[in-house]
């Protein structure tokens, strides 16, 4: 077993850290306050290859491995978790299914501009009645000549208000349940598509989370992604990789909170000495550091399995579950170590605390990850 990063992986990690600390970290608190979508910085990430990080160069991507993706996601998310999820959705939930299930024509027309960062993508699975029960799709797709006609509502869609290209899941025959679900590539300038509303959120406030309406949206038949009835499996296999991305985002938030709390414990004095000299704080730092490391190892293992072409669904669910819970724990303890200052917007840890919360909800709640892990073990 080799725990060493390759030279290229270290280079990508450093490039991500330099970019994130220079272009994201100084603005993250303000963007959070103002719910400002960092469009300019997303364009900069395109130049670094971070919007199609695993996509082969042939299709406009950077051609890096999954471990590099984890390292870059962690650095970006440590500086700005909102930018992290924008990056993660484009890479894991949009580029990956296009590369894996798309034909060459679809890759040329849709994957290339997404991987190059000329366009932005969103993944439309969740609906008001299809959250954890993702197979309960109510958005319908009806065939009409050489088009599909889509009707329905999608909610909690990351990048929904800024995206150009959507991966949309829709039901063609409710009697077939998950076997009736198809996947489609939909452009947001299609007639009948609209952004209904944007969520007001606890955290990741600089990313947009939108409710989207499809009102007789006509989608050319050649924009069906994958085989008839394969939509649910496309959605689930896409989330397997997406969960590694969210685990990496959680790691980034945890790293930022742990580093801030450690520095504060060394510098903040009470009773005539730094608070880090007290066992109460030492035990907190030790527990936070251990959970961060364990989460990181689980996440890198899942990424490494994917890079080696092995099965990784169960390991991705474990990484996402553990890293998101660790991130919540670490951010909460960081707030505690900062005391009153931790509760103030003058310091970054209250943002980390709010940002961490979503990581154990989206791309499958912690409870859904346990369902996935148990299904693997009990099958
Ligand atoms: N890959 C391929 N196929 C898979 C699969 C996978 N990972 N997981 C399941 N399948 C297949 C099964 O083999 C089965 O196929 P057959 O019928 O041929 O046997 C079929 O899919 C149905 O599987 P299940 O019976 O296990 O499905 P289920 O309806 O019981 O659902 C679930 C299981 C784990 C709860 C699943 O619905 C799930 O993961 N829910 C959570 C949804 C989720 O993560 N939503 C996140 C939304 S996206 C988001 O948050 C993005 C964002 O904005 C950041």
Instruction: For residue range 166-180, list pLDDT tens digits in order.
Output: 999 999 999 999 999
pLDDT > 70: percent of the chain: 100
pLDDT band at 280 (very low <50, low <70, confident <90, very high): very high
pLDDT at 200: 98
Residue 1 pLDDT greater than 90, yes or no? no
The model's pTM is 0.98
261, containing H or E segment? helix 231-267
pLDDT in tens, 281-305: 999 999 999 999 999 999 999 999 9
Average confidence score pLDDT of the chain:
98
Question: Is 90 exceeded by the pLDDT of residue 371?
Answer: yes
Res. 182: pLDDT tops 90: yes
Kindly give the distance from the C-alpha atom of residue 339 to the centroid of ligand 1, in angstroms, as a whole number: 41
For residue 141, what pLDDT band results from cuts at 50, 70 and 90? very high
The pLDDT of residue 261: 98
Ligand 1 lined by 336 (C-beta under 6 Å): no
List pLDDT tens digits, range 78-92: 999 999 999 999 999
Give, for ligand 1, the residue of 154, 229, 231, 233 to mutate: max count of ligand atoms closer than 8 Å to Cβ: 233
Q: Measured between alpha carbons, how far is 53 from 55 in angstroms, rounded to an integer?
A: 6
Q: Which tens digit of pLDDT belongs to each residue from 318-359?
A: 999 999 999 999 999 999 999 999 999 999 999 999 999 999
- Structural tokens at position 153: 């509502």
CA of 181 from ligand 1 middle (Å) equals 12
Mean pLDDT of 38-57: 98
Summarize pLDDT for 211-248 with one digit per residue, the tens.
999 999 999 999 999 999 999 999 999 999 999 999 99
Q: Ligand 1 atom closest to Cα of 156?
A: 53
Q: Return the percentage of the chain with pLDDT > 90, whole number.
A: 99
pLDDT of residue 305: 98
CA of 233 to the centre of ligand 1 (A): 7
Which tens digits make up the pLDDT trace of 117-128? 999 999 999 999
Tell me the pLDDT band of 2, cut-offs 50, 70 and 90.
confident
Q: Would the CB of 135 count as within 6 Å of ligand 1? A: yes
Ligand 1 center from residue 236 Cα (angstroms): 4
* Amino acid 279: pLDDT: 98
- Which residue among 77, 96, 100, 134 is best mutated to probe the pocket of ligand 1, counting the most ligand atoms within 8 A of its Cβ? 134
Long-range contacts of 52-59 (CB under 8 A, 24+ apart): 52/90, 52/91, 52/95, 52/111, 52/114, 52/115, 52/116, 52/117, 53/91, 54/91, 54/95, 54/96, 54/99, 55/95, 55/99, 55/111, 55/115, 56/99, 59/99, 59/107, 59/108, 59/111, 59/112, 59/115
pLDDT in tens, 52-79: 999 999 999 999 999 999 999 999 999 9
Q: Which residues are catalytic?
A: 363
Contact 199, 156 (CB under 8 A): yes
pLDDT category of residue 159 using cuts at 50, 70 and 90: very high
CB 113 near ligand 1, within 6 Å = no
């Amino acid at each position: 077993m080799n725990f060493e990063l390759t030279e290229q992986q270290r280079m990508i990690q450093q490039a991500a850290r330099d970019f994130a600390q220079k272009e994201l970290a100084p603005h993250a608190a303000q963007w959070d306050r103002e719910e400002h979508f960092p469009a300019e910085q997303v364009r900069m990430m395109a130049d670094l290859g971070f919007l199609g990080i695993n996509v082969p160069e042939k299709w406009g991507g950077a051609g890096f491995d999954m471990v590099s993706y984890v390292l870059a996601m962690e650095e970006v998310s440590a500086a700005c978790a909102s930018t992290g999820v924008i990056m993660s959705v484009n890479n894991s939930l949009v580029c990956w299914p296009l590369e894996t299930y798309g034909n060459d024509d679809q890759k040329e027309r849709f994957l290339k501009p997404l991987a190059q960062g000329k366009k932005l993508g969103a993944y439309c699975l969740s609906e008001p009645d299809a959250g954890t029960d993702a197979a309960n799709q109510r958005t319908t797709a009806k065939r009409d000549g050489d088009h599909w006609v889509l009707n329905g509502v999608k909610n909690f869609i990351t990048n929904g208000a800024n995206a150009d290209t959507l991966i949309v899941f829709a039901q063609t025959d409710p009697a077939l349940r998950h076997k009736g679900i198809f996947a489609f590539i939909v452009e947001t300038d299609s007639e009948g598509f609209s952004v209904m509303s944007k969520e007001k959120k606890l955290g990741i406030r600089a990313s947009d989370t939108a409710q989207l309406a499809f009102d007789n949206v006509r989608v050319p038949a050649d924009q069906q992604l994958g085989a008839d009835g394969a939509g649910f499996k496309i959605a689930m296999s896409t989330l397997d990789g997406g969960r590694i991305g969210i685990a990496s985002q959680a790691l980034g938030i945890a790293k930022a909170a742990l580093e801030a709390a450690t520095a504060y414990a060394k510098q903040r004095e009470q009773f005539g000495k730094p608070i880090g000299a007290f066992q109460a704080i030492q035990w907190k730092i030790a527990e936070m550091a251990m959970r961060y490391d364990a989460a990181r190892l689980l996440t890198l293992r899942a990424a490494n399995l994917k890079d080696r072409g092995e099965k990784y669904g169960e390991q991705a669910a474990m990484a996402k579950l553990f890293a998101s819970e660790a991130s919540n724990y670490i951010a909460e303890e960081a707030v505690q170590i900062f005391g009153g200052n931790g509760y103030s917007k003058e310091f970054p840890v209250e943002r980390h605390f709010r940002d961490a919360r979503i990581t154990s909800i989206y791309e499958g709640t912690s409870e859904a990850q346990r369902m996935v892990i148990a299904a693997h073990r009990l099958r």
